[in-house]
Structure 1
Amino acid sequence: MINPSKNFSVSSLKVNVYNSEAEIARAAAEIVYEYLYNVLQEQETASVLLATGNSQLKFLDELISLGGIDWSRVTCFHLDEYLGISANHSASFRQYLREKVEQKVHPQVFHYIEADAQQPLIECARYSELLQTHKIDLCLLGIGENGHLAFNDPKVADFNDPYTVKLVKLDEVNRQQQVNTGYFSNIEQVPQYAFTVTIPTICAAKRIICLAPGQRKAKIIAQMLRREVTTTCPASILRHQTQATLFLDADSASLI
C-alpha cells in the first residue's frame, strides 16, 4: 500500500496528496479494489458510476491489473457523453469505456448513454430510470479545469438538481479543455451540448473516489478547497461528502 505524502480533511472531504500521478493511480486502485471486494462479500452485486478522461487512464490500468474483482457481478454506468456523437467516434466516452473497461473486465452489464439517440430527452429519461433502480456503490470522478464534475459546468451546476440526468450546454473552458487534452483538434469540433449525470446523483453514491492530478488542476483545486462551497466551483460540493476522498499529486496540490 502506497501511503500519501500528506493527508488532511477539508470539512467532510478527505484529501490524500501523493508524489506523482503514478502513485495516485496505484494508491487509488488499491483502495477501490479493497472497497469493491468487500462490497461483493456483503451483497450479490455492485453498481459503479465511471468517469473518463486522462486522469482515469493510469488508475483504470492499475485497478484492472490487480485482478481479484468478480466483475461479472458488477453493473457499470458512466457520468456523461457528448450529444449526437456516435459510439465509435474517437472522442466518445462510450468508445473510451468499452476499450478501457468493458472489453477488459466484462462486467455483468455496462449501461451506456446513447448519445446519438433520435430523441435525446427520452434518452435522459431512460438513463435516469436505470440509475434510479440501482444504488450506486462507487462513483469515480475527475475534476475539470473549471471545477466541473461530469459535465456540470458552473453555469449549469445545481446542488439541488431535481433531475438525475440532463442535457447541458458546455462552457468554453470545458470545450477548450477537451482540445488541450487531445480529444479534438480544435474547439469547433467539440460538441456544444452533452448529457450529464447531475450533482445530487453523484453525491448519492455510497463511496466517491476523485482523482485530480496535474499542474493544470492546481488553480481550481485551491479554489475548491479554500473558498466557499458554491456552484461557481461545482467540485466544492465534495467538501460536504463524508464518503468522498480526493487524490492529488504534488503538482495539483502545489497551491494549497
Structure 2
Amino acid sequence: MEVIILPNQQKAAYLVAQILAKELKAHPRLVLGMATGRTMEPVYRLLVDMHQKEGLDFSLCSTFNLDEYIGIPADHPCSYRHYMNELLFDRVNIAKANTHLPDGMASDLGAECLRYEAAITQAGGIDLQLVGIGSDGHIGFNEPLSSLRSRTREKALTPATREQNAPMFGGDPANVPRRAITMGVGTILDSRRCLMLVTGKSKATILAKAVEGPISAMVTASALQLHPRCQVVVDEEAASELKEIEYHRWVFANEPEWAEFQNLV
C-alpha cells in the first residue's frame, strides 16, 4: 500500500482523475469500479472536463459501482444510479448498457447479489477500483465486523452510516434506507488495482487506523493492506494523524511512477 499526500482536496482529486484518465487512455476497454459520495464529486467533475475539453473517451469502457440502496428506484434523486448519471454517465460518451449498479428494487435480492458477482466475472474482473472510506472505516457498505472475504450481498446500515449519508436525504437519518446491496470486501480485493481517495480532517483518525493499524473486520478498509496494488491518495488534513507521514512523502518523491506528478506537491 502506498500513501500519497497532497496539499489539499483539489490536488488529491486531480491526481485520482489523472490516474483514471491515464489508465483509460492506455486500456480503452477498462473495467472501472466506481464509488459515490461527496469525496468523489470533484473527481467526476474533472473527468467530465477532460472528456469535453480533451476528448477523453469512455465509449469502450464498462463500470461497476460498489453499492446501491435497497428500496429506492433507480430514478430516485438519492439513488446511486441517479448520482452516477448526473455526475458522470450522462456527461460523457459511455454506453449506459456498460454501466452497472446493483438493483436495490429486485424482487429476489439474494439472486441479484449473485447476478452482480457473475456480471463482474463475465466482464473479466475489475481493473481499477475507486473507493472512499466511511467515518467508521467501511469501504462500500461493508460495515464494521463484515467478513474480509465477503462477496456482494445485502447489508444493514449502521446508525453512524445513516447519519453520515443524511445530507443527501434532507438531513434526516430516518429518511436514509436501512439496507443496501454492496460489493463484499473480498470482491473489492479481487480488483487488479485499487485507488482510495480520502480528504478532510474528519477522516484523519480512521485513515490512520486503516493504513497503519492492524487488519481488522472492525475497520474494513484495513483489508486494503492486503491488496497487491493499492494507492491511497489523501490531503494534508486527512494525513495529519499518520505516524509514518515522512516516509510516505519520501516514497512519493522517489518512486519513478509518480515523477510526472511532483508539481502537485
- TM-score calculated relative to the size of structure 1: 0.88
- Match of residue 116 from structure 1: 105
Whole-angstrom distance in 2 between the partners of 1:218 and 1:190? 25
- Match of residue 3 from structure 2: 15
Shift of 1:62: 1.0
- Match of residue 192 from structure 1: 178
* Of 21, 44, 49, the match for 1:65: 49
Whole-angstrom distance in 2 between the partners of 1:117 and 1:148? 24
SS of residue matched to 1:73 = coil
SS of residue matched to 1:139 = strand
Q: Is the 8 A contact 2:129 2:194 kept in 1?
A: yes
How many residue pairs are counted as aligned between the two chains?
236
* Of 113, 117, 129, the match for 1:128: 117
Whole-angstrom distance in 1 between the partners of 2:170 and 2:209? 27
Q: Which has the higher strand share?
A: 1
Whole-angstrom distance in 1 between the partners of 2:9 and 2:76? 27
Whole-angstrom distance in 2 between the partners of 1:133 and 1:87? 23
Residues 184/82 of structure 1: CA separation in 2 closer, same or farther (3 Å cut): farther
Q: Is the 8 A contact 2:169 2:175 kept in 1?
A: no
Partner amino acid for 1:249?
D
Q: Is the 8 A contact 1:15 1:245 kept in 2?
A: yes
Shift of 1:182: 3.8
Q: Which has the higher helix share?
A: 2
Structure 1 regions of 5+ residues with no counterpart?
A: 1-12
Structure 2 regions of 5+ residues with no counterpart?
A: 243-265
Answer yes or no: is 1:210 the counterpart of 2:199.
Answer: no
Whole-angstrom distance in 2 between the partners of 1:206 and 1:46? 11
- Match of residue 100 from structure 1: 87
Answer yes or no: is 1:150 the counterpart of 2:134.
Answer: no
Q: Is the 8 A contact 2:35 2:66 kept in 1?
A: yes
Q: Is the 8 A contact 1:76 1:107 kept in 2?
A: no
- Match of residue 255 from structure 2: none
Deviates more, 1:218-227 or 1:16-25: 218-227
- Match of residue 220 from structure 1: 206
Residues 87/138 of structure 1: CA separation in 2 closer, same or farther (3 Å cut): same
* Of 36, 46, 51, the match for 2:24: 36
Shift of 1:230: 0.8
Whole-angstrom distance in 1 between the partners of 2:75 and 2:44? 20
Tell me how large the CA RMSD over aligned residues is: 1.4
> Percent identity between the aligned chains?
28
Shift of 1:56: 0.3
- TM-score calculated relative to the size of structure 2: 0.85
Whole-angstrom distance in 2 between the partners of 1:241 and 1:160? 12
* Of 25, 40, 54, the match for 2:38: 54
Deviation per CA, 1:79-99: give whole Å up to 9, x if none.
001111111222210100011
Whole-angstrom distance in 2 between the partners of 1:174 and 1:254? 23
* Of 153, 172, 179, the match for 1:166: 153
Deviation per CA, 1:17-41: give whole Å up to 9, x if none.
111110111111112211221123x
* Of 212, 215, 222, the match for 1:236: 222
Q: Is the 8 A contact 1:229 1:237 kept in 2?
A: yes
After the TM superposition, list the runs of 4 or more consecutive aligned residues in structure 1 that deviate by more than 4 angstroms. Answer: none
Partner amino acid for 1:202?
I
